[in-house]
Amino acid sequence: MLRTLMTRTLTRSLIRPIPAQFLRPPRPILHQKTFSATSHPQKKAREKSSKARSNNDDGNAQGRMHHPFDFASHFESLERKCNAHIDKLKADIAKLRARGRNEPGILENLQVVLDKSTGASASLRDIAHVLPKGRTLIVNVHEAPNFKHVIAAIQKADLNVQPMPDPKNAQSINVPLPPPTKETRMEIADIVGKAGVKVLELLRSERQDSHKLIKRLRRERLDDIRSANKQLEVVMKKINTEAKIIIEDAKKGALEN
Phi-psi sector, 169: left (phi>0), alpha (psi -120 to 50), beta: beta
Residue 127 exposure: Cα atoms within 13 Å on the Cβ side: 20
Tell me the whole-structure pTM to 2 decimals: 0.53
Numbered ranges of CATH 3.30.1360.40 in the chain:
105-176
Numbered ranges of CATH 1.10.132.20 in the chain:
71-98+181-256
- Name the class of domain 105-176: alpha beta
Q: Which CATH superfamily is domain 71-98+181-256 in?
A: Ribosome-recycling factor (1.10.132.20)
Q: Which of 248, 252, 256, 254 minimizes the C-alpha distance to 197?
A: 248
CA distance 182 to 7: 158
In a structure prediction context, what are the per-residue pLDDT tens digits for the chain, which is 257 residues long? 555 555 555 555 555 555 555 555 556 555 555 545 555 556 555 666 665 565 555 555 444 544 788 999 999 999 999 999 999 999 888 777 766 566 787 888 899 999 988 989 999 999 999 998 888 899 999 999 999 999 999 999 877 789 999 999 999 999 998 877 788 888 888 999 999 999 999 999 999 999 999 988 888 888 888 999 999 999 999 999 999 999 999 998 888 76
CA distance 151 to 112: 9
